[in-house]
Chains A and B, each alone.
Chain A
Amino acid sequence: GAGVSQTPSNKVTEKGKYVELRCDPISGHTALYWYRQSLGQGPEFLIYFQGTGAADDSGLPNDRFFAVRPEGSVSTLKIQRTERGDSAVYLCASSGTGGYNEQFFGPGTRLTVL
């Protein structure tokens, strides 16, 4: 079966531009997570969706970051007015709910802001 996919795999943009990163979770997974991994760090929690709603967005660093999941499946992470410090690998993961369900990760989007 299909795993979690993310597009694009690489994105290079200029400072100040707007970017959208897409995540397609495993079909039927209601939980969806976004993480950011900077060089030398572990994945850092950004936001968690349960269905269509953002159950916890406490990890979003500021109001330039926003994420949606309008139909409870595909999610888009949106970054406005990108800054060089936003350069990182953005990971998406999905899981079923309840118990000790594993997260399944996508391959990530490497964002470079010049």
Chain B
Amino acid sequence: ILNVEQSPQSLHVQEGDSTNFTCSFPSSNFYALHWYRWETAKSPEALFVMTLNGDEKKKGRISATLNTKEGYSYLYIKGSQPEDSATYLCAFRSGTYKYIFGTGTRLKVLA
């Protein structure tokens, strides 16, 4: 059974704080690691596809890193804003089509 874990489950930060969370996944049979942002009442939105060990991706104030050898990825948010409040999901792919999702990290940014 492939297990994908995310931590923390939830966190509250103040506006302007930087934060990060973790996705742990199996270190074997790696194909890709995806990050999604899911706001309440909306569709999950793709943030990053990470494919190579050592990958670093950045989109505005959000960035992500990947370590496939040890099986983890970090998502960083710099200078959190209230609109960053959402659930952040990671999904592990061991093949071309199957995605195994973590339980998500629920972020609340307080103004």
Contact = CB atoms under 8 A, between A and B. Distances in A.
The finding on whether chains A and B are genuine partners in a shared complex, rather than unrelated, reads yes
Interface of A: 3-4, 31, 33, 35, 40-45, 48, 50, 55-56, 91, 97-98, 100, 102-108
A48 B100 CA distance: 13
B4 to A, nearest CB: 7
Nearest to B36: A105
B89 interface: yes
B59 interface: no
15 contacts: A4-B43, A42-B6, A42-B104, A43-B99, A48-B97, A48-B98, A91-B44, A100-B49, A100-B51, A102-B34, A102-B46, A103-B46, A105-B36, A107-B41, A108-B43
Interface residues of B, number: 24
Given A48-B98, A100-B51, A103-B46, A42 B34 contact: no
A54 B42 CA distance: 27
A105 B101 contact: no
A42 B103 contact: yes
Contacts of B71: none
B109 interface: no
